[in-house]
Amino acid sequence: MERVIFNEDHHAFRASAKEYCDRSLVPRMDQFLEEKTIDRAAWLEAGKQGFLGLDVPEEYGGSSVGDYRFNQVFAEEVSKVSASLSSCFGIHYDCAAPYFVDLGTEEQKQRWLPKFCSGEYVAAIGMTEPSGGSDLAALKTTAKKADGGWVLNGSKTFITNGDMADLVIVAARTDPSKGAKGITLFVVEEGMEGFARGRKLDKVGQTESGTSELFFEDLFVADDNVLGEIDRGFIHMMERLAQERIGAAVSNIAHATQILDETIEYVKQRKAFGQSVGSFQYNKFLIAELVTKVEVTQAYVDNGVVAHDEDRLSAVDAAKTKWWSAHVQNEVLDACVQLHGGYGYMNEYRVARAWRDARVTKIWAGSNEIMKELIGRDLGL
């Protein structure tokens, strides 16, 4: 079914994004897999092409397009290459950017955003803690007031881009007596004394992304690095979760669609019992169901993107797109592995890596169970 939300500018931008992926990402995937990270050259090239500053005003080095569909197009093209790369770039240009643009002071924007847009600085968001998971209100990392700043102590885990981030937006508890209303955001910079990175985490999938632990030990952060208002960090995070979740949905369905397309070509060519595997009635019906389900989900996600672009996407509707797209993505990719037979379980096949990469999407950006809880509450249950 034809997608109708894009115009000529979006199509031209997609061509540029695809060219970047084909030139700068696809030929180096083996390197990224081996090193478990995206090297700085790929970031710098993305910055040079203008992909990292889509939400950043021009005076700070971005393009400030004011149209979330451009974010969507770039995420879709990168997701076709790798779910890992999409998550790394997405955390930077799609999740972290609104924090800096919306909450940063003029001095902070001048200091950080030009290099953020160029790829010289890579950003990460430090919310998740070893004991917290999706419960952002239960943070244990603390920040105590000191002369001219704050002293941070604590740790974060499962941090995408954590292995190389130059700027980390860290949520810390500044007033334990206030619960969720006593959390503040800080920007921790590479090289600060007391800031240490742990090991790159050995994940089931998404090998290319440098996911790490972060540690803060008596780390002094100046008042100039407070992002937003004191004790309003939880609210700041909640206000920006809708974009994170619709962004996750965009990547989820683009990733599933690409691998399904590749699987359809595979079953047309693969022979068994004297005919193509795809011609067996069961497989034919299964693929018909998968294609329809993907297209229906794409239409739903596209509708969410338009709603977000018009500033009318609710937190509940964002939760719906996030959980459903992750559910469909995993269902589709599991079927694609089955359709590949034994080869679908081999790491040399993209379908196997994609299957592993997708599993986490039902957990991060708020687990699917949390999303359903939000929806249920909205229904008065």
For 77, residues 6+ apart whose C-beta sits below 8 A from its C-beta are 14, 17, 18, 20, 21, 254
**Of 193, 244, 265, 369, which is the active-site residue?**
244
Between β-strands 195-200 and 212-222, what pairing exists: parallel, antiparallel or unpaired? Answer: antiparallel
Contact 291, 260 (CB under 8 A): yes
- 289 in catalytic set: no
For 195, residues 6+ apart whose C-beta sits below 8 A from its C-beta are 188, 189, 214, 215, 216, 219
Q: Catalogue the E-assigned strands of 5-54.
A: none
- What backbone torsions phi and psi does residue 165 show, to the nearest 5 degrees? -60, 135
Contact 286, 363 (CB under 8 A): no
Give, as one character, the DSSP assignment of residue 162. T
CA separation, residue 144 to residues 26, 140, 155, 172, 233 (Å):
45, 12, 15, 9, 15
Contact 205, 353 (CB under 8 A): yes
Which of 274, 291, 272, 306 shows the shortest CA–CA distance to 336? 291
Question: What is the C-alpha to C-alpha distance for residues 8 and 180, in angstroms, rounded to an integer?
Answer: 45
Question: What is the C-alpha to C-alpha distance for residues 186 and 233, in angstroms, rounded to an integer?
Answer: 9
Tokens linked to 324: 């459903």
The catalytic residues are 244
